[in-house]
Structure 1
Amino acid sequence: MTHNQNTNVHDETGWNFDNSYRRLPDAFFAEVEPIPVPHPEDVTFNRTLAESLGLNPDKLAGMEGAATFAGNYLPLGAEPIAQAYAGHQFGNFTMLGDGRAVLLGEQITPDGRRVDIQLKGSGRTPFSRGGDGRAALGPMIREHIISEAMHALNIPTSRSLSVVTTGEGVQREIEFPGAVLTRVASSHLRFGTFQYAAKWGGYDNLKALANYAIERHYPEAADEDNPYLALLEKVIKTQADTVAKWQLTGFIHGVMNTDNMTLSGETIDYGPCAFMNTYDPATVFSSIDVQGRYAYGNQPYITGWNLARFAETLIPLINDDQEKAVELLQEKMKLFSERYQQNWLDGMRAKLGLFDTEEGDEALVEELLTAMEKTHVDFTNTFRALTYGTFLETSCGRELNDWHDKWQSRLKREGRSEEDVRRRMETANPAVIPRNHRVEEALEAAVSKSDYTVMEKLLDALSDPYDHTKEYGSYTEPPESEQGYQTFCGT
């Protein structure tokens, strides 16, 4: 099968590309086309997202869409590339790049947004480093489920437009059905993109990349006295906002390498990710995180560490005097812990129905979390029980009961109505999250039986996580046991 170069079967599809990243120096990408597959078939198609992008879902929901999202046909205006970047992977610096992904281009939406359209699993690229460039169905469905759940939870994230099967197998431990995921993101600018530029690109390329990042994501920084210092401040704030939301929902990314951290603050690269059930800051699910570097409780610290690596790349742009540049960057880096802590504490206040600020609030929250860890209770359901007044019926242990009395006293001091408190808590405490065992059920049905109904039902349950009137049934129940449960990268 051959590509249909820059033509589409239907003009009405709605593609509207303007590919600004390609106008960067050639060092930042390699021209590469997706490798066609034998028999592309649709697994799931995100019609709502398609419409928001200005695409015609009726033209893309069938065979034509499957062929496009598999990489067999290039949409009108697509100019496919693989992006170059580097990264610290589990603390070790290495050259990387899109080894199994192709950026088709940047779609300009009806409301003027610019978003990347990327095919993940579309074949080998110059950055594949010996890999086959393909993806298995299970990990692509996992990314689709989790990224759409994150979006519904109001956490900044890339989105999933489509998953298609390829009609061919991919060899991992055993052979799995192949698949391609179409990922939508504000951009794929990573901390690792800047690390690549700083290490191998030279001053001019680094400056071009920084100017591009400012123009694309933080144009207001261009008006500051030092635009590159302002860029760092903007990125610090977005990352502090995002990781606080991770912590407040029990999300564990699993592989927080610097190449998986975006300048936009969007969560990206859903490999061995999972949501925590029983509260424990040491929770790790990823099979490759044997030291617990990216455990739930470490995520804020790792984000700070990653931001420091990003800040280092900006040194030549900040000041001609390196010592002065480092001093300015170090001062700016102090913002992260302050911003994160404030966001996290404000979020915890909302989860507890608190509107006002008191000096002892952080201690109140920490006392709850300590008691939750000791009594091995479910993170999500504990806050849900607090929301609906069933906490004392479900809690176990003197510590939790004593804490409940303190919390009630704290609420009474504010003098808010029970209805106001409940509404605040309902908007901060999801009724349902992507429970690991439910995600695994969906993957098993899809991979083993080509049954996508389990996935669709789960997606429906996850689409309105803060709708507490919805009947979620068993989707709110934690597993009987997660002992030994692991997630895998899928590469």
Structure 2
Amino acid sequence: MKTTFPFDNSFAQLGTGFFSYQMPEPSPTPELIAYNESLGSELGIDAGDDRAAIFGGALIPDGAEPLAQLYAGHQFGNYNPQLGDGRAVLLGEVVDINGNRRDIQLKGSGRTPYSRSGDGKAWLGPVLREYVVSEAMHALAIPTTRALAAVRTGEDIYREAILPGAIVTRVAASHIRVGTFQVFAARQQIDKLQELCDYTLARHYQHANGPEGLLQAAMDAQAKLIPAWMGVGFIHGVMNTDNCQIAGETIDYGPCAFMDAFASDRVFSSIDRMARYSYANQPDIAIWNMAQLATSLVPLMPDAEAAVERFTTMLHKMKDHLRAEWLAVFAEKLGISQPYIEDGTLIADLLDLMERCGSDFTNTFAALNHGSAIDEVTDRVAYNAWHHRWSNRIKDENDPKALMARRNPVIIPRNHRIEQMITAAVEGDFAPFHRLNAALQTPFEDCEGFDDLKRPPSTEEIVPATFCGT
């Protein structure tokens, strides 16, 4: 039985100015590491015996139209006029069983016209990281791209050492980014910019109208996404405009990380030397990215000067929207269903206390599910005073513990466990990968057998920096 896909490709109809047709480079000896059965069923894929060949790029399924997308982007604030899919190939799109259009993309499948000096390949570590973290984010109910498959290619990849090659199959609502709009605006290709705007509205935001409607919808999506990240201690690490997806999903799990000990200025990405994308900076960067989208959409407006004024007003309001969403997320983490503005002080005081004491972010909030986090905070006097205020605040809530249990995970993909999983996989042992992936599918349940995965790292286990893998 061969694997079949219900392809229904629409991006390919936009024309070659938006992409380059590109076949993936076939893996010499593809070996399937993992296949996401539930996601495959959701996508309407009939899985057969040739999955390793398909997801290793060695066999192109019927109906696919492989292509590499064009886009530009600001990388750490510096504009790069042409980026594009340098190591990814979009096989095509399907309309899933819920009626949602989804991209299916091979990441790490070889050189494309946008690879520049890169080899277009991926090694095993970043592939397994993306698989585990993206599926963990989905289980945490945070908008994200998904992982459909991971394949070991059977070839050597040359980075700082010789490493095993691999490909991850990524599923997304689309791969349209802020940078996709930037490239056509910068080139003053207004017809293509308009075509892209119309296509994006039809695909993602049918309730919105025109460039202003698209900007507002994209801003609203980002204003919900970033506080959701912060509510689980997630730091993206590369919030460049080419990694800011218009549909509002988390995309690109390169140097990402989940915090252990809480620190508002925490940075993990090895290339973020100026702390541009630190934990606390993420809301401001979301606004900055949306400002670049607004700039790209101005040429589509009938009056550029009026558009700049209107878009600026919208961007200023986004800060309040982000703050309101942040307040809602963290209030629920404390069992508060309808927060007041004053609750922001209660939240901030706990975070300040956690930061001063070096408290574990996830375990502190998880402990509150059971009534107290005093074992997580070393300043007992200050914590007891805060706990008294909190207890008074939630005494009239209907069921605060149930609300907290839905918002505070007990398990996250901790950096040291991911690194241990990768080290084992490089040696040929995929058991830690499968175990970690299984544990993270029920992040809000205190399941037996996974206590070691909940433990913060020892001093020797701390992972101080994360890397892109390119």
Does TM, normalized by the shorter one, top 0.5? yes
**One-letter amino acid matched to 1:54:** G
5 Å-filtered alignment, 1:479-490, equals: 479-481=457-459, 485-490=464-469
The Cα of 1:315 is off from its aligned counterpart by 0.2
- Corresponding position of 1:190: 177
- Paired residue secondary structure (2:353): helix
5 Å-filtered alignment, 1:7-86, equals: 10=2, 13-57=3-47, 59=48, 62=49, 64-86=50-72
**Is the contact made by 1:27 and 1:201 (CA closer than 8 Å) also made in structure 2?**
no
**One-letter amino acid matched to 2:228:** K
Counterpart CA distance in 1 for 2:175 and 2:287 is: 20
The equivalent position to 1:421 in structure 2, one of 392, 397, 400, is 400
The question of 1:314 aligning with 2:273 is answered no
The Cα of 1:484 is off from its aligned counterpart by 6.1
- Corresponding position of 1:220: 207
The question of 1:231 aligning with 2:218 is answered no
The question of 1:110 aligning with 2:97 is answered yes
The question of 1:441 aligning with 2:420 is answered yes
- Corresponding position of 1:6: none
5 Å-filtered alignment, 1:93-242, equals: 93-94=79-80, 95-200=82-187, 202-222=189-209, 227-242=210-225
- Paired residue secondary structure (1:169): strand
**One-letter amino acid matched to 1:256:** M
The question of 1:245 aligning with 2:215 is answered no
- Corresponding position of 2:331: 349
The equivalent position to 2:370 in structure 1, one of 388, 411, 417, is 388
- Corresponding position of 1:457: 435
Counterpart CA distance in 2 for 1:21 and 1:287 is: 34
Cα deviation code 1:342-361 (max 9, x no counterpart): 11101111100112333420
- Corresponding position of 2:253: 270
Counterpart CA distance in 2 for 1:39 and 1:433 is: 33
**Is the contact made by 2:4 and 2:62 (CA closer than 8 Å) also made in structure 1?**
no
Normalising by structure 2, report the TM-score: 0.97
Gaps (5+ residues) in structure 1? Answer: 1-8
**Is the contact made by 1:372 and 1:400 (CA closer than 8 Å) also made in structure 2?**
no
Counterpart CA distance in 1 for 2:378 and 2:457 is: 18
The Cα of 1:328 is off from its aligned counterpart by 1.2
Counterpart CA distance in 2 for 1:18 and 1:434 is: 34
Counterpart CA distance in 2 for 1:144 and 1:159 is: 8
Select between 170-179 and 470-479 the one with higher mean Cα deviation. Answer: 470-479
5 Å-filtered alignment, 1:399-418, equals: 399-412=382-395, 414=396, 416=398
The question of 1:371 aligning with 2:357 is answered no
**Is the contact made by 2:327 and 2:339 (CA closer than 8 Å) also made in structure 1?**
no
Counterpart CA distance in 1 for 2:375 and 2:151 is: 46
Shift in alpha-carbon separation, 1:376–1:257, aligned structure 2, 3 A: same
**Is the contact made by 1:236 and 1:335 (CA closer than 8 Å) also made in structure 2?**
no
- Paired residue secondary structure (1:184): strand
Shift in alpha-carbon separation, 1:484–1:446, aligned structure 2, 3 A: closer
**One-letter amino acid matched to 2:105:** Q
**Is the contact made by 2:260 and 2:456 (CA closer than 8 Å) also made in structure 1?**
yes
Cα deviation code 1:51-94 (max 9, x no counterpart): 1111123x1xx4x1100001111111001110000000001100
Counterpart CA distance in 1 for 2:213 and 2:265 is: 34
- Paired residue secondary structure (1:106): strand
Cα deviation code 1:379-406 (max 9, x no counterpart): 0111111111242244211322221111
The Cα of 1:193 is off from its aligned counterpart by 0.2
Gaps (5+ residues) in structure 2? Answer: none
The equivalent position to 1:92 in structure 2, one of 78, 101, 111, is 78
Shift in alpha-carbon separation, 1:483–1:393, aligned structure 2, 3 A: closer
**One-letter amino acid matched to 1:16:** P
The Cα of 1:277 is off from its aligned counterpart by 0.5
**One-letter amino acid matched to 1:170:** I
- Corresponding position of 1:325: 307
**Percent identity (aligned):** 47
**One-letter amino acid matched to 1:259:** D
**One-letter amino acid matched to 1:328:** R
Counterpart CA distance in 2 for 1:335 and 1:233 is: 10
Counterpart CA distance in 2 for 1:182 and 1:381 is: 32
- Paired residue secondary structure (1:314): helix
Select between 190-199 and 400-409 the one with higher mean Cα deviation. Answer: 400-409
- Corresponding position of 1:338: 320
Counterpart CA distance in 1 for 2:136 and 2:96 is: 22
Select between 424-433 and 393-402 the one with higher mean Cα deviation. Answer: 393-402
The Cα of 1:476 is off from its aligned counterpart by 0.9
**One-letter amino acid matched to 1:436:** N
**One-letter amino acid matched to 1:15:** F
**Is the contact made by 1:152 and 1:464 (CA closer than 8 Å) also made in structure 2?**
yes
**Is the contact made by 1:354 and 1:411 (CA closer than 8 Å) also made in structure 2?**
yes
**Is the contact made by 2:94 and 2:101 (CA closer than 8 Å) also made in structure 1?**
yes
Shift in alpha-carbon separation, 1:359–1:243, aligned structure 2, 3 A: closer
Counterpart CA distance in 2 for 1:351 and 1:484 is: 26
**Is the contact made by 1:277 and 1:435 (CA closer than 8 Å) also made in structure 2?**
yes
**Is the contact made by 1:99 and 1:126 (CA closer than 8 Å) also made in structure 2?**
yes
> Cα RMSD over matched residues?
1.3
- Paired residue secondary structure (2:187): helix
Count of residues in Structure 1 that have an aligned counterpart in Structure 2? 467
The Cα of 1:470 is off from its aligned counterpart by 4.9
The equivalent position to 2:280 in structure 1, one of 297, 306, 310, is 297
Select between 373-382 and 21-30 the one with higher mean Cα deviation. Answer: 21-30
The Cα of 1:283 is off from its aligned counterpart by 0.8
